[in-house]
Each structure stands twice: as C-alpha cells, then as structure tokens.
Amino acid sequence: MHETSMSPRAAHSPQVLEESDSRTRILDAAEELFAGGGYAATPTSLIAKLAQVPKGLLFHYFPRKIDVLVALVDERTLVEEAKEVDAVPGDPAGTLSKLARRLPLRASPAMRRILFREADTHGSVRERLGRLNGELIGRARFALELALPGARGDKARLEVAAATFAAVLLYQENLCQLTGHQIDPDAVADLIAHSLA
Amino acid sequence: MHETSMSPRAAHSPQVLEESDSRTRILDAAEELFAGGGYAATPTSLIAKLAQVPKGLLFHYFPRKIDVLVALVDERTLVEEAKEVDAVPGDPAGTLSKLARRLPLRASPAMRRILFREADTHGSVRERLGRLNGELIGRARFALELALPGARGDKARLEVAAATFAAVLLYQENLCQLTGHQIDPDAVADLIAHSLA
Amino acid sequence: MHETSMSPRAAHSPQVLEESDSRTRILDAAEELFAGGGYAATPTSLIAKLAQVPKGLLFHYFPRKIDVLVALVDERTLVEEAKEVDAVPGDPAGTLSKLARRLPLRASPAMRRILFREADTHGSVRERLGRLNGELIGRARFALELALPGARGDKARLEVAAATFAAVLLYQENLCQLTGHQIDPDAVADLIAHSLA
Amino acid sequence: MHETSMSPRAAHSPQVLEESDSRTRILDAAEELFAGGGYAATPTSLIAKLAQVPKGLLFHYFPRKIDVLVALVDERTLVEEAKEVDAVPGDPAGTLSKLARRLPLRASPAMRRILFREADTHGSVRERLGRLNGELIGRARFALELALPGARGDKARLEVAAATFAAVLLYQENLCQLTGHQIDPDAVADLIAHSLA
DNA sequence: GATGAATGAGCTTTCATTCAT
DNA sequence: TATGAATGAAAGCTCATTCAT
C-alpha cells in the first residue's frame, strides 16, 4: 500500500526493508556468519556475498576485517543504563524471573554468541563482554535489593546470588543450546530466592 | 589400556621422557594455540614450530588439520565415570565445594576453553562438550543426593541446583576470567545448600 | 611572466590566493608524493587527501592517473630557452658557478627527482629528462664559449667539460643527498676551468 | 665429463646451469623486472611467472615482497675491498680510464639502476647506494694519489676530482642511456687529468 | 564543478596439503 | 619416520576508475 503509492523512487527510501543500505546489510551478514562459524573462519567474500554487495564495498566501509567485528560490538551490544528495574517487593523469585525475560538488553543472541567466542582474541570484544556481564550482575543485585527491602541476607550473599543468576542466564543461552541441556531460568530464580529467605 | 602412550617401550625407557615423542608435542602445541587463538586462526605451521617438529611430520600424524582437533578432543577430554563421589552426608555445601575442587576431571582448562569455542563448528567437539556438561551435572546431582539423604528437596529442585552449580563452575572458568568478574565456587555451594535446606 | 597561475583572473582576485584552485593543489600534492615515494607507489586517494579534494574531483581534472604525471611534466619542467647566459669572459670557473646557482631552471628539485625516477617507465617523462639534460649541457657549453673567447680548447674538449659539469649538477642534487656525499659545484667549476686553461 | 660420471642425480646438481635452483631464478627474474619497471610496479606474480616458479614458492623463500629487493641488494651489490688499484704513476688519465673499465664492481648495470631508483624508498637500498658511491670515490682518489706521486695538487682538489669522476661514471650509466646523451669516460679522465697537471 | 558510494580486477600474502627424498 | 621444498586455491586488502546526484 505505502510502497506503491509513494513514487517510483520509493525503492530507495529507507523504510523499504529489502533495500536497506549497504553498510547495514554488511553488518547483518557478518553478525549471522560470525555467530555461526566464528570470526576467523568467515571470509570477507562470504560476508559480501550474503550482504549482496561487491567485496570492495565492504572494505570501503570497514578498512580491515576486524573493523567489521568492532563495529558490530560497538553498535549492536549497547548496554543501556538500567533505568527502572521491575522489582516486586517481597517476591525475589518473581523479580528475577522478570529480569530474565527482559534479558536481551540490546544484544541479540547472535551478538552474545560472538561476544563469548571472540572475547579472548580481541580486546574490544572482551571489554564489551565484561560490561555486559557486569551490567547484568548489577541489575540482578539491584533487583534483589528492592525485592528484599529488609536486607535480610548480608551484602556478600546478595552479590553471590546476583552473580550466580547472571552466570546461569548467560551460560544457558550461549552454551546450553550447544549441549542440549536446558536450564529453566524461573526455576533458578526460585532456587536463589529460597536461599535468601 | 594406555591411551596416551601407544608403545609400551616409550613409556618405560627413561631417556625418552625428556624428548617426549613428536606426536605428543604436536598435541601439546595445538592445545595451547587452539585455546589461545582459536582453531581457525591457528596455522598448522605455527603448531609445528611450537612443537619443534617439521611441518611435514605434522601431516604424517594428522593427515588433515581437523584431525589434530579431533585427536585432542578424543584423547584429552575423557570424562571418567564418577566412580566415587566424595560426599559428606548432611553437608551439601561442603560436598559441592569438594566437587568443585576436583573439577578438572581430565580436561585441562585449555581443553575446556577449546570445547566451548569450537563447539558450534565441529560436531565431535559439540558432542564432547555436551558429555562433559552432562557428567558434571550428574555428579553434582549425585553428590547432593548423598549429602541430603532425606531427599528433602524434591527431585526437580535438586536437578535445578545441580545444573546451576555446573553452570557457575563452567561459566566462571571459561568466561569470568575473560571479564574479570570472579565468582567464589564455595560461596555458590553455600548459597545452593541453603536453598535446599 | 607568471607561471603558476594560468588565468589572469585568478592571479588578481585576492580572495582566491588562499584557496588556490583544486587543480593546482592536486598537482602540488602529486609532485610531493611522486617525488617521495614514486609514481607507482602513490595511490590517487592519497593525492586527493593531501590536496584536500574529494577523490572524484581528481578524476574530473585528470581522467587517468598517468595524466597527473604527464601534466606535472608538461607544466612544471618547462625548459626555457637560454635567453641570456651570464658569462664573464676570461673567468670560466665563475661563469659555471653562476650557471649552477641558477640551475633550477623551472623544475623544482622534487620534479627533477620525479623525472629521474620515472624516466624509464613513461616515454614523455624520459623525453623531458633528455631535454633538461640537453639544455643544461648546451647552456654550459655556451657559457664556456663566452668565457673562453679565444676558443683555446678544441670543440670536443669543451663539450666534454660541459657534459661533465651537467652530470655533476644533476647527479649531485638527485643522488648525493641520498648517499650523503656532497660535491661543491664551485669546486667542480674551478676544476673544469683549470682543465681548459 | 664431470656431469655424466657422477650419477643419475647429476641433473639436480648445482653446476647444471639450465636447472639453477628456484631461489636464484626468482632473484634473476626480480632483478630484470625491478630494473625495467621499478619495484612498486612489478607484481610478484610476474616475477614468479618469469622465474617459472609457482607464486607460493616465491613467498616460501621471501616472506614479503620487499625481502626480494633486500636479498637482491644484499647478495648482488657486494662492494669488494679495493685490493689493488691498477695505477700508472705519471698517467692519471690512463689510471682513471682503467678504473672506469672495471667499474661493475660486482653490481650489474641492472642492480645499479635498481639502487638508484629505489634508494629513497628503502633504507637498506639507500645505504648500499651510499656505500657503492663512497667506494667508487675512494678508489678514484687512491688511484689518483698513486698516479700523481708528487702530490702536486692539494688534497682538496684531488677529492673533488675523484668525486667528479665518480659522479660522471654513475650518472652516465644510469641516466645518460635514458636520455641518449653519451659521455665518454676516457675523455672525462683526460679532462680531469689536465686539471690536476 | 563537486561528491563519495560503488565496482571489480588485481595485488600481496597465507596456508593446508603434497611429495620426492 | 622424517624433511622441507613445492603447489595453488583462496584469503584480506588496494586501488584506479565510474557514476548518480
């Protein structure tokens, strides 16, 4: 409806998904391929082919291959400030469950897989992974503090609980699928809540 | 019977010890390099150089590069049957702590890093990672069952506790060091024990 | 009279001086870069960047890269007719010294370096280098004839003297600086004068 | 005689010219091409083709393209110590002429052309050119000292004469052929001898 | 005139793998 | 079993040149 009524030049307007700009298509392709086969094993030629751009254009935007990975990490793993944590006082299990459900923050599963795989190869990736992990722990800690207003458990135990929950969340998504072992975040939330009771 | 030394002779003659055989040195080098930079980013020439063997010899033992990885996974990630779990009835926290301290099973930290990184690339690696994870969970479950003879918590909760503990152990070793966030396994053991009380 | 500004208009309007026109800036940049790294090793993109013009504009003025070199040679190595040679009769040494001091003719040191380097690659460059060399020899010969009115030495010896002086002048500038060996043109002028005495 | 009596493997022995080893053929090809078109404008693929070796082998011997140039300079521009200079006392002109005829030292004309062209691009090349020039001047000075035992001219003038002769020799070979202007070294030797008389 | 994204051929280099010895 | 020269496909990257705006 919109497309036909606009103009013959509508094909070039940004809202037409099929024709998103080249740079974005390159990053899309790279995200998919890096997540699937790893950075080192993905030739730039394959990225270009999947993105349907000539190989030279890839290097127009990203002078070196590593710049594609860096751009991906810079632009697609933004860890937004935890504006509001949806905590339910007196219900730490439910609070953690809610947190788990909002997890993606702004990094797709593919991006998180990339962060894990390439972390020890490239400094900037490692730093982002650290930030993501830190933010997740911080958010879990904050949520638990709100959910347990009495501050019943000591600080240290809260910290451990937050780190454990973060570990399960990141671990499960990135690796349990590889092994086939599933962990139900809600059950873990429940477990942790019990331990703080 | 012996899996690392093929010839009984080599294993016994003392002077061979210092000049460990070429095949072993190749695997040692590959383990180090694959863990450090990843399989795809490690040239066979570098493996040969680090192992101090000529390039041709590497291909004598391992006709294709992938065979080095497969051999590594086959020979250096053996998950031994949990013959005995050192459980202390009535002390689930201590029991888990003991389990954590014996974790290496028979896969070195380097090998575990390799398993994680290359899991989604090579089927045989993925399968091993699954086995390792499964074995760890199973052992944690069994340990907890022994430590809590009354079977106080229901089966499902025990399972979640075991999976959570396994997740933290593997997560921390493989990724916390990358991010700098430390998790104390003993504190997690304590946390989980509390949740089962 | 004015050699750099082709159009009288540009030469007179004051505001144009600081923003010298794009074409000139391109040639300035190319002269510097070709002299420094050689024609083949200098990318057009670098010329454009140094000239602070967009890449496309360079190809607007010079459709092919080689046209930049040709324009440089055409416009910046003009060998002017030897209108007047400042000869001092009876003082061949002083006459040659004067000639040496006016050497630049109208080719900068950078342009002469370019002529030497690219001579065997591009015909038009080679031809210019030949003209420059010929003109220099001719001028030296003429100067010596004027300085030695008696025509004491035979013609052939005068010719050799002129060629030797030209060789030293061109050689010294283009290569002595590379090797660090200095030749004082005045001393050579003196030497040659003696040989003709 | 030797070849046939040695063994069937004689075909691989070094004295069979037709089958000189790959590394030498690569350097031969590079010398020819670098002298002709310049280092930067010569693709490694062309070197390999002319040398009749696969492209990969070139990089087996010379990991980077520049290493070919460096090897050429290292191995084919040896400046031998001037053991004996063939000086004729009382005949400086003849002495210089003799020197000129032995000029090649051990750098072929092609190698000398390469030294000149690539001198300002690569430090090691520049250094060799400097050494070559210095050695030539030194030899000319020494020859003149022997030829003029009375040390009639002062030291400084001898030095200038030596430098001038060296300049003409190097200049003529590398550049006069480009421009077509010939300088007869014997005539220059004569000229210089006169100036020292 | 001015602009910079787009293009693809070609460049240097890497690398797994082979093979004669 | 041991060796390293040999091989060529493919990788990352460069670059002159075009072209729509």
Instruction: Give CA–CA dist B166/D11, Å, rounded.
Output: 66
pLDDT on residue A73: 92
Maximum distance among all alpha carbons in chain B?
A: 61
| B76-80, B107-111, B150-154, C15-19: least confident range | C15-19
Measuring from the CA of residue D54 to each C1' atom, give the nucleotide at the shortest distance: F7
C-beta separation of C115 from C144 below 8 A: no
B184 contacts A160? CB cut-off 8 A: yes
Whole-angstrom CA distances from A118 to A70, A186, B10, B108, D75 are 11, 29, 39, 20, 44
Q: Tell me the two tokens of residue D100.
A: 């000129």
pLDDT on residue B148: 84
pLDDT tier at C186, thresholds 50, 70, 90:
very high
Average pLDDT, chain B: 82
A168 contacts B170? CB cut-off 8 A: no
C90-118 pLDDT, tens digit each: 899 999 998 888 764 667 888 988 988 89
Residues of chain C contacting residue D195, judged by C-beta atoms under 8 Å apart: 191-192, 194-195
Residues of chain B contacting residue A180, judged by C-beta atoms under 8 Å apart: 130
Q: What is the identity of the amino acid at C86? A: D
- Residue D9, burial from CB neighbour count under 10 angstroms (0-12, 13-18, 19+): exposed
DSSP state of C173: I
Dihedral angle at the C-alpha atoms of C149, C151, C155, C160, nearest 10 degrees? -70
Q: In a 3-state reduction of DSSP, which class is residue D182?
A: coil
Q: Tell me the two tokens of residue B21.
A: 């055989």
Query: Please, where in chain D does CATH 1.10.10.60 lie?
Result: 2-73
pLDDT on residue C121: 81
Contacts with C, D 80-139, CB within 8 Å: 113, 116-117, 119-121, 126, 129-130, 133-134, 137
Q: Looking at CA atoms only, how far is residue C106 from chain D in angstroms? A: 19
Instruction: Give CA–CA dist D94/D97, Å, rounded.
Output: 5
Q: Tell me the two tokens of residue B184.
A: 């104390």
| B27-31, B135-139, C6-10, D72-76: least confident range | C6-10
Closest-CA residue of chain C to D168: C167
A119 contacts B180? CB cut-off 8 A: no
User: Can you tell me the mean pLDDT for D66-86?
Assistant: 82
Q: Comparing D8 with C136, which gets the higher pLDDT? A: C136
| B46-55, B139-148, D2-11, D58-67: least confident range | D2-11
Instruction: Give CA–CA dist C123/A55, Å, rounded.
Output: 35
Answer for D19: CB within 7 Å of strand E: no
Res A14 pLDDT > 80: no
Q: Comparing C151 with A170, which gets the higher pLDDT? A: A170
**A170 in contact with B at a CB cutoff of 8 Å?**
yes
List all nucleotides in chain E with at least one atom under 7 A from a protein Cβ: 1-21
**B154 in contact with A at a CB cutoff of 8 Å?**
no
Q: Stated in angstroms, how far is C173 CA from E5 C1'?
A: 43
Q: Tell me the two tokens of residue D131.
A: 């050494």
Q: Stated in angstroms, how far is D118 CA from F14 C1'?
A: 21
pLDDT on residue A47: 97
List all nucleotides in chain F with at least one atom under 7 A from a protein Cβ: 1-21
Q: Which chains touch B (3 or more CB pairs under 8 A)?
A: A
Give the residue from C53, C193, A105 showing the smallest Cα distance to D160: C193
Instruction: Give CA–CA dist D11/A116, Å, rounded.
Output: 57
Q: Which of D41, D116, D188 sits opposite C164 (nearest CB)?
A: D188
Q: Comparing B32 with B176, which gets the higher pLDDT? A: B32
How many C/D residue pairs have CB atoms within 8 Å?
A: 129
Instruction: Give CA–CA dist B183/A165, Å, rounded.
Output: 11
- Residue D114, burial from CB neighbour count under 10 angstroms (0-12, 13-18, 19+): buried
**D188 in contact with C at a CB cutoff of 8 Å?**
yes
Alpha helical stretches, state H, C1-154: 8-12, 15-18, 22-37, 44-51, 55-61, 65-76, 92-101, 109-118, 123-147
Instruction: Give CA–CA dist C52/C61, Å, rounded.
Output: 14
C-beta separation of D103 from D135 below 8 A: no
C6-63 pLDDT, tens digit each: 444 444 444 444 457 999 999 999 999 999 999 999 999 999 999 999 999 999 999 9
Residues with CB under 7 A from strand F: A 12, 42-46, 55-56, 59-60, 63-66; B 22, 53-57, 59-60; C 41-45, 55-56, 59, 63-66; D 21-23, 53-57, 59-61
Average pLDDT, chain C: 82
Query: Please, where in chain A does CATH 1.10.10.60 lie?
Result: 2-76
| B135-144, C160-169, D3-12: least confident range | D3-12
Query: Residues near C102 by Cβ (< 8 Å), separated by ≥ 6?
Result: C86
Residues of chain D contacting residue C192, judged by C-beta atoms under 8 Å apart: 191, 195
| A20-34, A107-121, C56-70, D43-57: least confident range | A107-121
pLDDT on residue C67: 96
Q: Stated in angstroms, how far is A88 CA from E20 C1'?
A: 76
pLDDT on residue D12: 38
Residues of chain B contacting residue A183, judged by C-beta atoms under 8 Å apart: 160, 163-164, 167
Residues of chain B contacting residue A191, judged by C-beta atoms under 8 Å apart: 157, 160-161, 164, 192, 195
Query: Please, where in chain C does CATH 1.10.10.60 lie?
Result: 8-76
Residues of chain B contacting residue A172, judged by C-beta atoms under 8 Å apart: 167
User: Can you tell me the mean pLDDT for D63-80?
Assistant: 90
Protein residue closest to E6, using CA and C1': A57
Q: Comparing C87 with C104, which gets the higher pLDDT? A: C87
Q: What percent of chain D has pLDDT over 70?
A: 81
User: Can you tell me the mean pLDDT for D112-126?
Assistant: 87
First to last CA, chain A: 57
Q: Stated in angstroms, how far is A21 CA from E8 C1'?
A: 20
| A146-150, C135-139, D18-22: least confident range | D18-22
Res A3 pLDDT > 60: no
User: Can you tell me the mean pLDDT for D172-184?
Assistant: 75
Res A71 pLDDT > 60: yes
B179 contacts A133? CB cut-off 8 A: yes
pLDDT on residue A82: 59
Protein residue closest to E18, using CA and C1': B56
A172 contacts B134? CB cut-off 8 A: no
pLDDT tier at B7, thresholds 50, 70, 90:
very low
Q: Which of B167, B183, B195 sits opposite A192 (nearest CB)?
A: B195
Measuring from the CA of residue C67 to each C1' atom, give the nucleotide at the shortest distance: F16
Q: Stated in angstroms, how far is B33 CA from E19 C1'?
A: 27
Number of alpha carbons in the 13 Å side-chain half-sphere of residue C75: 17
Query: Residues near C73 by Cβ (< 8 Å), separated by ≥ 6?
Result: C111, C114, C115, C124, C125, C128
C8-76 CATH, one of 1.10.10.60, 3.40.50.2000, 3.30.2350.10, 3.60.21.10: 1.10.10.60
A36 contacts B179? CB cut-off 8 A: no
User: Can you tell me the mean pLDDT for A40-53?
Assistant: 96
Q: Which of B164, B178, B183 sits opposite A188 (nearest CB)?
A: B164
Res A11 pLDDT > 50: no
Res D187 pLDDT > 80: yes
Give Cα D150 distance to the centre of its chain: 32
Q: Comparing B118 with C105, which gets the higher pLDDT? A: B118
- Residue C169, burial from CB neighbour count under 10 angstroms (0-12, 13-18, 19+): buried
D148-157 pLDDT, tens digit each: 876 555 888 8
**C161 in contact with D at a CB cutoff of 8 Å?**
yes
| A65-74, B6-15, B37-46, B165-174: least confident range | B6-15
C37 contacts D175? CB cut-off 8 A: no
Most confident region among B11-20, C55-64, D176-185 by mean pLDDT:
C55-64
DSSP state of D107: -
Average pLDDT, chain A: 82
The C-alpha angle D124, D126, D128, rounded to 5 degrees, equals 70
Residues of chain B contacting residue A121, judged by C-beta atoms under 8 Å apart: 37-38, 41
Alpha helical stretches, state H, D7-151: 22-37, 44-51, 55-61, 65-76, 92-101, 109-118, 123-147
pLDDT tier at B59, thresholds 50, 70, 90:
very high
C-beta separation of B169 from B186 below 8 A: no
User: Can you tell me the mean pLDDT for D19-43?
Assistant: 93
Residues of chain B contacting residue A157, judged by C-beta atoms under 8 Å apart: 187, 191
C-beta within 7 A of nucleic chain E, residues 52-81 of D: 55-56, 58-60, 63-66
Q: Comparing D194 with D85, which gets the higher pLDDT? A: D194
Q: Tell me the two tokens of residue D89.
A: 């006392």
Q: What percent of chain D has pLDDT over 90?
A: 41
Res C120 pLDDT > 90: no
| A112-116, C176-180, D4-8, D83-87: least confident range | D4-8
Can you identify the CATH homologous superfamily of domain D2-73? Homeodomain-like (1.10.10.60)
Instruction: Give CA–CA dist D177/D197, Å, rounded.
Output: 31
Topology of domain A2-76, CATH: Arc Repressor Mutant, subunit A (1.10.10)
Res D22 pLDDT > 50: yes
